Chains A and B, each alone.
Chain A
Amino acid sequence: EPEVTQTPSHQVTQMGQEVILRCVPISNHLYFYWYRQILGQKVEFLVSFYNNEISEKSEIFDDQFSVERPDGSNFTLKIRSTKLEDSAMYFCASGRSANEKLFFGSGTQLSVL
């Protein structure tokens, strides 16, 4: 069964450093998302991406965050200057259409020291 893959599974970085989280969505999907989950808290929406542009973003997704689909298969989330409060599990998800379920990757655990 096709799946969303994310790399790395764990990322440790120093405060102020840039990180790039990588995702390979399911190949025939058109809608791409990033969510995050701080330990013990709910899954929170960051951004959705469709037709090579951001279609919706949350208040969390400020100027420090950016997304890119550099080629036909990868989808990346960049955090320009990490803060301690960015420590969380980041999930990539993809969907075939706007009405259907999302498939989630296994996540990247980001720890900012």
Chain B
Amino acid sequence: EDQVTQSPEALRLQEGESSSLNCSYTVSGLRGLFWYRQDPGKGPEFLFTLYSAGEEKEKERLKATLTKKESFLHITAPKPEDSATYLCAVRDNYGQNFVFGPGTRLSVLP
């Protein structure tokens, strides 16, 4: 059974204070790892897809990396508008569903 854990559960940063979020996964054949952002009361919003170990994707202040067991979402010089819950999800080679982790709740203080 595919499993996804995320750490930390919650993270408070000062504006401009860079940090990283972790997603650890166990999956029988990774088809893709996905990062989403979720604002309160809203649906997940797509950020990145990573398909193979060593791959990196970047968008504004966010950078996602992937190894064979985990993925990191690096946030450089965050701003208050980056405050949200960041979700990691995996898809394996055998099913169609996405298995989500519990998320990291990020707060960036001005």
A binding-site residues for B, Cβ under 8 Å = 4, 31, 33, 35, 41-45, 48, 50, 55-56, 58, 89, 91, 93, 98-107, 109
| A-binding segment of B19-27, B62-70, B71-79, B93-101 | B93-101
User: 1/0 per position for B4-48, CB-CB distance to A under 8 A?
Assistant: 000000000000000000000000000110101000011111100
Residue pairs across A and B with CB atoms within 8 Å: the count is: 54
Among the listed A4, A42, A48, which residue makes an inter-chain contact with B97, where contact means beta carbons less than 8 Å apart? Answer: A48
A-B contact pairs, 18 of them (CB 8 A): A33-B98, A35-B100, A43-B44, A44-B100, A45-B98, A48-B97, A55-B96, A56-B95, A93-B43, A99-B31, A100-B49, A101-B46, A102-B46, A102-B98, A104-B44, A104-B45, A107-B43, A109-B41
**With A42-B101, A99-B31, A99-B32 in contact, is A56–B44 under 8 Å at CB?**
no
Across chains A and B, which 10 residue pairs bring their CB atoms closest together, nearest first? Answer: A104-B43, A45-B97, A43-B100, A48-B96, A42-B102, A101-B46, A104-B44, A56-B96, A91-B43, A106-B43
Q: How large is the interface on B (under 10, 10 to 19, 20 to 34, 35 or more residues)?
A: 20 to 34
Among the listed B34, B41, B103, which residue makes an inter-chain contact with A42, where contact means beta carbons less than 8 Å apart? Answer: B103
Among the listed A4, A31, A91, A105, which residue makes an inter-chain contact with B96, where contact means beta carbons less than 8 Å apart? Answer: A31
